[in-house]
Amino acid sequence: MNMGAVIAGLAKGPWIAGQARNDKGLRAAAPAQLPSFDQALLWVTVALLAFGLVMVYSASIAMPDNPKFARYAHTYFLTRHCISLVLAFVGALVAFQVPIATWEKAAPWLFVASLMLLIAVLIPHVGSVVNGARRWISLGFMGFQPSELAKFAVLLYAADYMVRKMDVKEKFFRAVLPMAAAVAVVGMLLLAEPDMGAFMVIAVIAMGILFLGGVNARMFFLIASVMTIAFVLMIALSDWRRERIFAYLDPWSEKHALGKGYQLSHSLIAIGRGEIFGVGLGGSVEKLHWLPEAHTDFLLAVIGEEFGLVGVLTVIGLFLWMTRRIMHIGRQAIALDRVFAGLVAQGVGIWMGFQAFINMGVNLGALPTKGLTLPLMSYGGSAILMNLVALAVVLRIDFENRTLMRGGRP
């Protein structure tokens, strides 16, 4: 008899100790109760959302002092961000209830619906124009950005496509060309808005899923080369995109400091002012009408100014951990012979990781300016909604993985 186990059982109370005895009077180990889904991933997501909420308020609190936003209260953006979070949590709870098999069946239809919305946003009086870009459909209480839905829809469609084409993945025209055509259609609609940043994210998601789905390496590098050439041509043939590259290379020049390099130069000033530990929450100077879009695209610059290098490294660490954990859930699903679920999870990991990498690179001056928000943290209703729905699907995949490993049915 294991005396240590007996003592531990008695310490839990006579009822538990009695229940743990078998017919021979020996101690029987109670099975460990494992959580039904990855709670650490959930809490990291909540931490990023909470930190983002605080920073959106900090970055936007002074905006009503600008005549452009004079009719707004100081809590205007905070209130709208809170409403977006509530709606996103409701959407995530609903998405978590949907079995992955249902998402697989709905993938082609969701892709078609996203195409219809991308076309609708280009129609006058349907799509809203902000800063010269037609990217939003007004829903009254919030502006919905179809490109955010397109990221999720392309992700599901690419995973479903690779599962259906497993038997022909060595043949370029039968395996890759139809998927490439679908992404190209999405790309043309996004470039018409224009929204090159969203197109880049969608292209990387699709390519990542093709690679993880087992497409021949030569075909993958051929696709990567074609995509690289296409993006280079898009930049070379567009005057204002070329100007952004030149401004990135020399943001401090007299020509660019007050033009295309203005955001980047003030983002770098904000990061520099923060030094190691920052100037303190609410102490940012750059958010006082110097740094445009401080609550959206350049939220990390405000974090760097107010929390310094420590704050920036904390955000980077949280996103690295989240991406690594999501990819692990995807690998686990594939090991359980759930290929679609595994590719979806890994696609979400690519999405979150790549978009966070681009946003951080822009804020830190490592990449040219691009209109991409920081996932889960930046102000934006439709982006928060689709981010949480995607993460809810990952948690559902993990839930079904654990159910299978316990011997149950997903």
Task: Taking residues 337-351, report their average pLDDT.
Answer: 95
Name the range with the highest mean pLDDT among 93-107, 202-216, 253-267.
Answer: 93-107
Q: What does the pLDDT average to over 151-180?
A: 79
Q: Is the pLDDT of residue 11 over 50?
A: no
Spatial separation of the C-alpha atoms in residues 9 and 13, rounded to whole Å: 7
Q: To the nearest whole number, what is the mean pLDDT of the chain? A: 84
Query: If you search the block for the tokens 């759930």, which residue do you land on?
Result: 338
| pLDDT of 360 higher than 50 | yes
Would you say residue 273 has pLDDT above 90?
yes
Nearest partner of 298 among 283, 288, 287, 284, judged by Cα: 287
For 50-81, write each residue's pLDDT tens digit: 999 999 999 999 888 877 777 888 888 999 99
Q: In this structure, what DSSP letter does residue 63 have?
A: G
Which residue, among 193, 191, 223, has the nearest Cα to 207 in the 3D structure?
A: 223
Q: Could you give the 3-state DSSP secondary structure of residue 329? A: helix
- Nearest CA to 137 among 150, 127, 147, 129? 127
How many angstroms separate the CA atoms of 86 and 80, rounded?
10
Q: Which of 308, 218, 220 is nearest to 270 (CA)?
A: 308
The better pLDDT of the pair 9, 94 is held by 94
pLDDT at 352: 96
pLDDT at 2 over 50: no
What is the mean predicted confidence (pLDDT) over 269-280? 93
pLDDT at position 307 over 80: yes
Sheet holding 127-130, edge to edge: 127-130, 133-138, 143-144
Q: Which H, E and C letters describe 127-169, residue by residue? A: EEEECCEEEEEECCCCEECHHHHHHHHHHHHHHHHHHHCHHHC
Find the farthest-apart pair of alpha carbons in the chain and give their distance in angstroms, rounded.
88
pLDDT of 169 reads 57
CB 12 within 8 A of CB 259: no
User: The pTM is what?
Assistant: 0.86
Q: What is the pLDDT of residue 170?
A: 59
Angle at 241 between CA 237 and CA 246, to 5 degrees: 110
- Pairwise CA distance, residues 6 & 21, whole Å: 10
Residue range 316-343: average pLDDT? 95
Banded model confidence at residue 166, pLDDT cuts 50, 70, 90:
low
Integer angstrom CA distances of residue 366 from 270, 357, 359, 406 = 15, 10, 10, 46
Question: Can you read off the two tokens belonging to residue 202?
Answer: 């969608």
Tokens describing residue 121: 């946003």
User: Among 155, 190, 162, which residue's Cα sits nearest to residue 176?
Assistant: 162
What is the pLDDT, as a whole number, of residue 62? 86
What pLDDT sits at residue 22?
Answer: 43
Higher per-residue confidence, 1 vs 227: 227
What is the per-residue pLDDT across 121-149, written as a single tens digit (0 to 9) for each? 988 888 777 766 788 888 776 778 899 99
What is the percent of the chain where pLDDT is above 70? 88
Asked if the model's pLDDT at residue 202 lies above 60, the reply is yes
| Residue 42 neighbours by CB under 8 Å, 6+ apart | 395
Separation of alpha carbons 346 and 409, rounded Å: 22
> Which tokens go with 237?
């043939």
